[in-house]
Chain A
Amino acid sequence: MPLDDGSLLEVKDLSVSFDGFQVINDLSFNVGKEEIRVIIGPNGAGKTTVLDLICGRTKATGGSIRFAGKELTRLKEYDIVRAGVGRKFQTPSVYEDLNVFENLEISYPHGRSVFESLLFRRSAAVIERIHEVAEMIFLQDQLDRKASELSHGQKQWLEIGMLLIQDPALLMLDEPVAGMTVSERRRTADLLQSITKSRSVLVIEHDMGFVEQIAHKVTVLHRGQILSEGSMESVKNDPKVVEVYLGH
Chain B
Amino acid sequence: MSLSIQKRKDIIFFSILACFLLVVLPGGLEPFRLNLVGKYLTYAFVTIGLVVCWGDAGILSLGQGIFFGLGGYCMAMFLKLQASTVEATKNQSTPGIPDFMDWNQITALPWFWKPFHSLPFSLIAVMAVPAALAALIGFAMFRRQVGGTYFAIITQAIASVLTILIIGQQGYTGGVNGITDLRTLDGWDIRTDHAKLVLYYIGVVLLLACMLFVWFVRSSKLGRILHAMRDQENRVRFSGYNVVNFKIFAFTLSAAMAGIGGALFTLEVGFMSPTFVGIVPSIDMVIYCAVGGRNSLLGAVYGTLLVNWARTSFSESMPEIWTFAMGALFIGVVLFLPGGLSSLYQNYLDRYMTRLVAALTARFKPARV
Interface size class of A (residues with CB under 8 A): 20 to 34
For B232, the chain A residues whose CB sits under 8 A away are 93-95
For A86, the chain B residues whose CB sits under 8 A away are 238
A238 at the interface (CB under 8 A from B): no
> Which of B220, B221, B245 has the largest count of A CB atoms less than 10 A from its CB?
B221
Chain B window 72-101, contacts with chain A (Cβ cutoff 8 Å), 1 for yes, 0 for no: 000000000000000000000000000000
Chain A residue nearest to B246 in the complex (CB) = A114
Are A82 and B234 interface neighbours, CB within 8 A? no
Chain B residue nearest to A87 in the complex (CB) = B238
For A187, the chain B residues whose CB sits under 8 A away are none
Are A162 and B221 interface neighbours, CB within 8 A? no
> Which of A95, A109, A159 has the largest count of B CB atoms less than 10 A from its CB?
A95
**Alpha-carbon distance between A119 and B216 when the two chains are bound, in angstroms:** 10
**Alpha-carbon distance between A112 and B245 when the two chains are bound, in angstroms:** 10
User: Measured between C-beta atoms, what is the minimum distance from A121 to chain B in Å?
Assistant: 9
**Alpha-carbon distance between A103 and B237 when the two chains are bound, in angstroms:** 14
Chain A residue nearest to B295 in the complex (CB) = A97
Chain B window 200-222, contacts with chain A (Cβ cutoff 8 Å), 1 for yes, 0 for no: 00000000000000000100111
User: Measured between C-beta atoms, what is the minimum distance from B218 to chain A in Å?
Assistant: 11
For B245, the chain A residues whose CB sits under 8 A away are 113-114
For A159, the chain B residues whose CB sits under 8 A away are 235
Query: In the complex, which residues 95-136 of chain A have their Cβ closer than 8 Å to any Cβ of chain B?
Result: 95-98, 102-103, 105-107, 109, 111-114, 117-120
Chain B residue nearest to A102 in the complex (CB) = B224
User: Measured between C-beta atoms, what is the minimum distance from B233 to chain A in Å?
Assistant: 10
**Alpha-carbon distance between A81 and B238 when the two chains are bound, in angstroms:** 6
Main secondary structure of the interface of B (DSSP, over half): helix
User: Measured between C-beta atoms, what is the minimum distance from A76 to chain B in Å?
Assistant: 7
CB within 8 Å for A118 and B240 given contacts A94-B235, A95-B227, A97-B227: no
For A166, the chain B residues whose CB sits under 8 A away are 239-240
**Alpha-carbon distance between A69 and B240 when the two chains are bound, in angstroms:** 19
A138 at the interface (CB under 8 A from B): no
For B242, the chain A residues whose CB sits under 8 A away are 76, 78, 112-113
Are A77 and B220 interface neighbours, CB within 8 A? no
Are B224 and A81 interface neighbours, CB within 8 A? no
B106 at the interface (CB under 8 A from A): no
Chain B window 221-263, contacts with chain A (Cβ cutoff 8 Å), 1 for yes, 0 for no: 1101101100110111111111001100100000000000000
**Alpha-carbon distance between A109 and B241 when the two chains are bound, in angstroms:** 9
Are B236 and A106 interface neighbours, CB within 8 A? yes
**Alpha-carbon distance between A11 and B246 when the two chains are bound, in angstroms:** 32
User: Measured between C-beta atoms, what is the minimum distance from A86 to chain B in Å?
Assistant: 8
Are A77 and B237 interface neighbours, CB within 8 A? yes
For A95, the chain B residues whose CB sits under 8 A away are 224, 227-228, 231-232, 235
Are A106 and B228 interface neighbours, CB within 8 A? yes
Instruction: Apart from A117-B220, A162-B239, list 18 A-B contacts with CB within 8 A.
Output: A77-B237, A77-B238, A78-B237, A78-B242, A81-B240, A87-B238, A93-B234, A97-B228, A98-B227, A106-B224, A106-B225, A112-B241, A112-B242, A113-B245, A114-B245, A159-B235, A162-B235, A166-B240
